[in-house]
A and B are shown apart, each in its own frame.
Chain A
Amino acid sequence: MRFLQISFPLFLVYLALTGNLTLPNLVMGALISSGITLLLPPIALPPFSFSRLPTFLWAGLRYVFVVAWDVIKGTYSTAKIVLDPKLPIQPGIIAIPSGTKTELGTALSAHAITLSPGEMVIAIDEDGVMYTHCLNVEDSARFVAEAQSLRKNLLSKMFE
């Protein structure tokens, strides 16, 4: 199961790159992806079970839409700041506790925070506190906590 969890995405990437679905190409892709999986060192992955797959997919879909909405809002506000003649920025670094139990959850919430323009994670300490550089400290400090609690709920549904 763990073997398939790594090699099946690699197989899909191979198919997307070559783009034909004939039988020799499928066999070649399976061989290459299993070879790469055998060469990799063991990676700690979350446990997989078919009964939790619908919950995982539904929470993942909602997570993607939440992150996309954050990105659209962040791009709009960053564009307003950049095109303003006075350049109204108040940069600073704030600490955001991530609150997730797993390392993968912390990494994914740091990814989501950094992907939305206006906030950028600079360092993460051992307790999972993310030190985030913001373009507008007061605005970000106001809404980033509730956004993080929403993300934390979805991530804990996905991985726990």
Chain B
Amino acid sequence: MNLLLQIAALLFLVTGTAVSFIGVIGFLRMPDVYTRLHATGKVSVFGLVFLLLAADILTPLATWKALLLIFFVLLAAPSISHSIASAAYRIGVPVNGKRDDLAPKVHQSARKPRNHA
């Protein structure tokens, strides 16, 4: 039983590092801020979740704390990436894509452009 738990922790550690690595590679390679957010805001959070599952098994007394942190992180991650993406759209970072269903809604409500860094 102990050996099985240790093997499960090893798998969680390796999977978490691989998933975080994919997130960072995506952050380095993607062209603009919206596509970068797909990699950073979510994929790296799942890497953190796998590491917390490993800590759940390996660290004594950490079970409920780690589960609480998993719950908090999964609740907070979408609102972080939504707020960054919404700020990017609000200050006018262009969407390099074929379709933009949001653009007509924004233009008819007379948005005034702001200068930004």
A interface list, Cβ under 8 A from B: 13, 15-17, 19, 71, 74-75, 78-79, 82-83, 87, 89-95, 110-111, 114-118, 120-123, 125, 131, 133, 135, 137
Q: Which residues of B contact A131 (CB under 8 A)?
A: 101-102, 105
Q: How far is the CA of A71 from the CA of B77 in the complex (A)?
A: 13
Chain A min CB distance to B23 (Å): 8
Q: Is the CB of A90 within 8 A of B98?
A: yes
Q: Is the CB of B98 within 8 A of A115?
A: no
Set B39, B79, B95: member contacting A91, Cβ < 8 A: B95
Set B32, B65, B96: member contacting A17, Cβ < 8 A: B65
Q: Is the CB of A19 within 8 A of B61?
A: yes
Q: Is the CB of A135 within 8 A of B82?
A: no
Known: A92-B100, A94-B101. A122 touches B38 (CB 8 A): no
Q: Is the CB of B78 within 8 A of A82?
A: no
Q: How far is the CA of A145 from the CA of B7 in the complex (A)?
A: 39
Q: Is the CB of B34 within 8 A of A91?
A: yes
Q: How far is the CA of A94 from the CA of B101 in the complex (A)?
A: 5
Q: How far is the CA of A15 from the CA of B19 in the complex (A)?
A: 31
Known: A17-B68, A122-B89, A133-B34. A115 touches B77 (CB 8 A): yes
Q: Is the CB of A92 within 8 A of B22?
A: no
Chain A min CB distance to B96 (Å): 6
Chain A min CB distance to B101 (Å): 4
Known: A19-B65, A79-B22. A87 touches B29 (CB 8 A): yes
Q: Is the CB of A137 within 8 A of B97?
A: yes
Asked if B8 lies at the interface with its beta carbon under 8 angstroms from chain A, I say: no
* Chain B positions 76 through 94: 1 when the CB is less than 8 Å from some CB of chain A, otherwise 0: 0111011001100100000
Known: A19-B64, A121-B82, A123-B89. A78 touches B100 (CB 8 A): no
Chain A min CB distance to B44 (Å): 10
Chain A min CB distance to B11 (Å): 15
Chain A, Cβ-Cβ closest to B74: A115
Chain A min CB distance to B59 (Å): 12
* Chain B positions 8 through 46: 1 when the CB is less than 8 Å from some CB of chain A, otherwise 0: 000000000001001001100111101101110111001
Asked if B67 lies at the interface with its beta carbon under 8 angstroms from chain A, I say: yes
Asked if B116 lies at the interface with its beta carbon under 8 angstroms from chain A, I say: no
